[in-house]
Amino acid sequence: MNAIPDHRHLKEIARQVRLDIVEMLFRAGSGHLGGSLSAADILVALFFGEMRAKAGDPCWIDRDRFILSKGHGAPAYYAILARLGYFPREELDTLRQFGSILQGHPDSGCTPGVEIPTGSLGQGLSIANGLALAVRLNGHGSRIYALLGDGEVQEGQIWEAAMTAAHYGLDNLVAILDRNRLQIDGHTAEVMSIEPIADKWKAFGWHTLEVDGHDIPQLLAAFTACKAVKGRPSMIIAHTVKGKGVSIFEGQKKYHGTAPNPEEYQQALKELGG
């Protein structure tokens, strides 16, 4: 969006997005807290520092495209879309409620700015591939971004899609892995180990890099680096902390899909400066 992203400004946006996430989930009484907070910096860097899109014209043909393959990160996505002006911020108060434009998982039929329904894991990368092929056929310069969860790559379809992207040399595609190391039942290492994850993507033919997923300059540099890659798709493994930003949520599997209680909410507001 911005010509020259101001890192400090983006960091401040990320803080506000985290506050929005905590508010939304507290109000809704349910939702996926941990994975929304872990992805907040990635999404802020992407939407405010990298992607070309117009909130006033969500169907702008030349826009860069984003697929939230880890659809349960919807609260973070919604907070960002609202902040960009895709819909009024008051809508955030209606998350998960009857009649809301903000469904529990992203639904393109309800929410301006959302490209496609997601939430059933493992499917977003194939969709991103299809978009990347379409954009290439159309001769457009748009870039395609997809955010995957680390537990999500346990789905077999991810690896089907990994082969397809490399086979067709989709260099307009960047996948980002939110490597927060936790899934509903516990640590990914215990539930179903995904390591050596970087080597896997490399072996599948992807340009693969690793960054601190909470370091906005690193994320922005990675997006830039991916643009120089020709003939291969890019995977950015973003090392993150689940529940990042609020000490009591960090690294706790309990908060994968749990909303904060009133005490936790107060604590979160204090830590996030709300």
Partner 1 sequence: MSAKESTRVEYGKTLAQLGAENPQIVVLDADLSGSTQTHHFAKIFHDRFFNVGIAEQDLMGTAAGLALGGKIPFASTFAMFATGRAWEQIRQTIAYGNLNVKIVASHGGITVGEDGGSHQAVEDLALMRILPNLVVLVPADGPETRAMTRWAAAYPGPVYMRTGRMALPLIYDDNYVFELGRGSLLREGGDVTLMGIGIMVQACLDAAALLAQDGIEARVANFGCLKPLDWELVVDSARRTGAMVTAEEHMVTGGLGSAVSEILAEHCPAPLKRIGLRDTFGMSGKPDDLLKHYGLTANDIKQAALKVIARKANHQVSPVMNLKAPGLAWR
Q: Which of residues 64-93 bind partner 1 (CB under 8 A)?
A: 65
Does residue number 139 form part of the binding site for partner 1 (CB under 8 A)? no
Range list of H helices, the chain:
7-28, 33-49, 74-84, 124-138, 156-167, 188-191, 197-203, 216-227, 262-272
Which of residues 116, 194, 268, 272 is near partner 1 by CB under 8 A?
Answer: 116
* ∠ Cα 124 103 85 (to 5°): 85
The two three-digit tokens of residue 179, written as one number: 């490597």
Cβ closest to partner 1, residue 125 vs residue 235: 125
Which of residues 85, 97, 134, 141 is near partner 1 by CB under 8 A?
Answer: 134
Cβ closest to partner 1, residue 49 vs residue 149: 149
Q: How far is it, in rounded angstroms, from Cα 146 to Cα 173?
A: 8
Does residue number 13 form part of the binding site for partner 1 (CB under 8 A)? no
Which of residues 100, 164, 252, 267 is near partner 1 by CB under 8 A?
Answer: 164
Which of residues 1, 100, 107, 205 is near partner 1 by CB under 8 A?
Answer: 107
How many residues lie near partner 1 (CB under 8 A)?
A: 35
User: 260 with 271: CB under 8 angstroms?
Assistant: no
The two three-digit tokens of residue 35, written as one number: 């994975």
Distance of closest approach, residue 147 Cβ to partner 1, in angstroms: 15
Distance of closest approach, residue 153 Cβ to partner 1, in angstroms: 14
Which residues, including other chains, have CB under 8 Å from residue 269's CB and lie 6 or more apart? 19, 22
Does residue number 115 form part of the binding site for partner 1 (CB under 8 A)? yes
Q: How far is it, in rounded angstroms, from Cα 19 to Cα 96?
A: 17
Distance of closest approach, residue 121 Cβ to partner 1, in angstroms: 10
Which of residues 36, 126, 180, 240 is near partner 1 by CB under 8 A?
Answer: 126
User: 69 with 80: CB under 8 angstroms?
Assistant: no
Distance of closest approach, residue 113 Cβ to partner 1, in angstroms: 14
